[in-house]
Amino acid sequence: MKIFERSSDLQFFLDNCRNDNKAVSLVPTMGGLHDGHLRLVEKAQSLSGVVVVSIFVNPTQFATGEDFDSYPKTFSNDKFLLEERGIDVLFIPSKDEIYPNGTLSNYDVGEIGRLLCGSSRPKHFNGVAQVVNRLFDIVKPNYSIFGEKDYQQLLIIKSLVENNNLNVSIESVSTQREDDGLAMSTRNKYLSAKDRMKAPLFYQQLNNAKMAIEQGNSIEFVMQKTLSELSVNFEVEYFEVLNANNLTQIATNTAEIIIISAIRLGETRLIDNIVFRRSNV
């Protein structure tokens, strides 16, 4: 596995790969790698001859008071996991390498970035789009792979590619879960032992909502019931049942639904979602 810190060195290497007719995939991460990330890596390896994994904790997607300084840094283990899986390139740029002209940006992802997670983290998705756009500019991948746990982010990245007419295919991988159903996340490391035992109830209650909708209960009833049940164990930031294609309100002919939520458990913020199709549409 080759490790690059400078964009110019990485680009020289990738240009030679392209000259050998090798397609390139990019898996952007902030480190703290777990099995969910490794599934993204496997997907990338199935798509292209060269896989680039980036590790960069992006300051522009963190608000004041969030966990930028304390975000888990596990570089030695991350490097070991990627080497073990035969990754071609690890890109670990500095902030100056990513933002040579400073971090200020007027990029606005639009209304979708102000919904759901964006309502409590108003600059978050603009920062995500900023860094992903920059990584695309550096790596120029044929494919880039993202997880469906961050569903709102996935839609925003797809929109970024479409709006900027970028020549990259965005691929996704389903949410990877622990044996008890908890969605894998680097921030799960923040959970106390007591909270970790309670955390699987989050997914269980979202799954109960899905089954209730499939059984013909009204969405309004299911939302009220689930919100009440979630509030017993968690501080609920939002809980919504929406059109999975664009995160808008469900219409009569909406076939694909997403149940999507963010909660706080102790000091830890967790997000999760379930996407499914209504059979009666």
Q: Which of 14, 26, 37, 113 is catalytic?
A: 37
In this structure, are residues 126 and 108 in contact, taking their beta carbons and an 8 Å threshold?
Answer: yes
Task: Please tell me the distance from the alpha carbon of residue 240 to that of residue 187, in angstroms, as a whole number.
Answer: 22
Q: Where are the alpha helices (DSSP H) in 56-199?
A: 75-84, 95-98, 117-120, 124-139, 151-163, 193-198
Residue carrying the six token digits 């209960």:
217
Q: Six-digit token pair at 148?
A: 């469906």
Candidates 202, 204, 192, 260; CA nearest to 235 is 202
User: Which 8-state DSSP code applies to residue 49?
Assistant: S
Candidates 190, 187, 191, 153; CA nearest to 172 is 153
Q: Where are the alpha helices (DSSP H) in 99-218?
A: 117-120, 124-139, 151-163, 193-198, 200-214
Sheet with 256-265, side-by-side order of all strands: 235-243, 256-265, 268-277
Which phi and psi (to 5°) does residue 225 adopt? -65, -45
Q: Six-digit token pair at 104?
A: 């200020």
Residue 37 annotated as catalytic = yes
Which phi and psi (to 5°) does residue 27 adopt? -115, 100
| β-sheet bridge partners, residue 52 | 26, 89
Residues annotated as catalytic (active site), given as ranges:
37
